[in-house]
Every structure is written in C-alpha cells, then in structure tokens.
Amino acid sequence: MTKTALITGASTGIGRATAQRFQAEGWNVVATMRNPDDGADLAALDNVLVTRLDVTDADSIEAAVAAAIERFGAIDVLVNNAGYGAAGPLEAFPPERIRRQIDTNLIGLIDVTRAVLPHMRAARSGVIVNISSVGGRMTLPLFSLYHATKFAVEGLSEALTFELAPLGIGVKIVEPGAIRTDFSGRSLDFVNDESLAEYQPTIGKVLASFQSRQGENDGSPPEVVADVIWTAATDGTDTLRYTAGEDAAEYMKNRKALDDATFMAGIRARFGLDG
C-alpha cells in the first residue's frame, strides 16, 4: 500500500522540496500551507493533496488531518516544518509577537502532532519528523526567542520518543544549518526599538556581520534538507538527530568539542561583540 506523508509549511523552501521528494519517491503527499493557492503546481502532481493548514488555527489543523485521512486513508509520516524566526532584543518584543513566535514554532507543532497521533496510535506505526535547527543546539545573538522555541522542540521530541516508541511510532529531529530559502525575508521577523539605546551597538554589529556575509555562503539548497528528511523518515533506525548541511555538521562538531566559554567566545568574535 502506498504510504502517505503530511508536511506543514509546504508552500516554499524546505517544505516544498520535501513534498516534491516524497512525491517523486511514489508516496502520497498532503502538502499543507496557509494559502493553498501557493501550491497550485504541487496540486498538479500525481497523488498530491494541497490543503490549508495554519498551525496557529486549531480548526484548520483538524480539517487538514481529516482531509488527509479521507483522501488517502492514513498518515504514515508527519513532517512538522512550518515555522519562522523572530530576531531582535528580547526587551523590544511586544507580548503579541512573543506569543506569535512560540505559537508558530512550538505550540503549532504540538497541536499538529496531537491531531495526527490518534491515527498513528490506532495503526501502531508512523514517524514524526520535527524540523529543528542547529539553533536548537547553539545560539546566535538577538535570536533568543527563536532559539527558545527550537531548544524546546529538541526537548519535546527527545522526550516523546519514550512514550511513542512502545506504540510503534518513531520521532526524528532534523537540524538544518544555513539553507537557501526565504527565511531571512518572508520568514524573518526583526524587531527593534531604537529608544532602547543600550542595545543599538549590539544590533548594529550583528546586522553588519550578517550583511558582510551575504553572498559569501548562501547555505545549502532546501533539497539537501529534503534528502535528510526522507532518510530520517524511512531509514527504519532509532536515530534521533540528523544534521542537514555541511555547516550544520561543523557547528555541531565544534559545539560538542568545546566548552561553553570557548564556543561562545567564538560566536562573539564572529559578530564583533568581543570588544
């Protein structure tokens, strides 16, 4: 029987590439996104259902899962990919934007997982692939909220393995590094309050560092992450974490090898924050 994957955030980037990869492998694909019109080309492919799913809208989650079951009869793999990055000094964020970051990257992932779990539990099989980031294991300046959500995804995913493995359900974490997507554009929410003068030197240095590196290394193409997601979903192992991209592997190697003070000093030096 043909297997089915449900993928959130499939309109662009990693989600779109993952939908295309699973479809090319002969799977049924439920490609979900906030605006299904953005997935017209995916909908034209065989065995692909494009449907609306906003991870912050509980009704849309339930409707998308129901549509997937009605169309294909099962959900064998869930890829929790939808998310975005909030950046800026924590003190500058109004409460509603703090909640948006947490609701999208963490609560939304939890809600989609909870909606799919009854079907996997009944089948006593399935794989949940949660897209984290190297930012779930290390941090960069001004991304405290984003890192908070990705560290939480790591902990949630690791803990879930204990309760879901006895039910035949696997949990995987994919940790991309820099990826050639629109994360820094559409998916990046930068917040600043220039009246908070004390933060402006740090903001200026961090932004200057990012700008100076533009074009130097645009990151891996999203297809690299899609390949890793495919492996994680189908390799049949109990491997928990998978890095995606050469830079991700290098970051994780250094994070494991270095103590906190040394690693963080390297980050400060990279952004010119050590003087």
Place of tokens 């899609």: 226
Compute CA distances 155 → 23, 24, 64, whole Å.
Answer: 30, 32, 26
How many whole angstroms separate alpha carbon 168 and alpha carbon 12? Answer: 31
Q: Which of 3, 11, 132, 133 is catalytic?
A: 132
**What DSSP state is assigned to residue 143?**
-
What value does the mean pLDDT take over residues 18-44? 98
Amino acid, res. 196:
L
The pLDDT value recorded for residue 183 is 43
How many whole angstroms separate alpha carbon 72 and alpha carbon 219? Answer: 35
Looking at the predicted structure, is the pLDDT value of residue 236 above 50?
A: yes
Higher pLDDT, 212 or 137: 137
Compute CA distances 203 → 198, 209, 213, 266, whole Å.
Answer: 10, 10, 16, 18
The pLDDT value recorded for residue 187 is 53
| Helix, strand, coil percentages, rounded to 5, for the chain | 55, 15, 30
Which secondary structure element, helix H or strand E, spans residue 121, and what is its range?
helix 108-123
Residue 116 near residue 6, CB atoms below 8 Å: yes
* Three-state secondary structure call for residue 242: strand
The pLDDT value recorded for residue 185 is 47
Looking at the predicted structure, is the pLDDT value of residue 189 above 50?
A: yes
Instruction: Note the pLDDT tens digit of each residue in 110-127.
Output: 999 999 999 999 999 999
How many whole angstroms separate alpha carbon 190 and alpha carbon 218? Answer: 19
Cα 39 to chain center, whole Å? 19
Q: Which of 3, 11, 150, 220 is catalytic?
A: 150
Looking at the predicted structure, is the pLDDT value of residue 97 above 50?
A: yes
The pLDDT value recorded for residue 161 is 98
Angle between helices 222-234 and 13-24 (to 10 degrees): 50
Looking at the predicted structure, is the pLDDT value of residue 207 above 50?
A: yes
CATH architecture of the domain 4-270 equals 3-Layer(aba) Sandwich (3.40)
Q: Which of 3, 11, 133, 146 is catalytic?
A: 146
Specify whether 205 is catalytic. no
Looking at the predicted structure, is the pLDDT value of residue 218 above 90?
A: no
Using alpha carbons only, give the angle 13, 106, 101 rounded to the nearest 5 degrees. Answer: 75
The pLDDT value recorded for residue 215 is 55
Using CB atoms within 10 Å of the CB of residue 156, give its burial: 0 to 12 exposed, 13 to 18 middle, 19+ buried: middle
List the chain domain ranges.
Answer: 4-270
Looking at the predicted structure, is the pLDDT value of residue 84 above 50?
A: yes
| Strands 85-87 and 188-190, bridge-based pairing | parallel
- Tell me the sheet residues that pair with 170: 127
Specify whether 150 is catalytic. yes
Confidence band of 219 (pLDDT split at 50, 70, 90): confident
Looking at the predicted structure, is the pLDDT value of residue 213 above 80?
A: no
Amino acid, res. 101:
Q
The pLDDT value recorded for residue 212 is 78
Which stretch, 91-100, 172-181, 202-211, has highest mean pLDDT? 91-100
Looking at the predicted structure, is the pLDDT value of residue 275 above 70?
A: no
What value does the mean pLDDT take over residues 77-90? 97
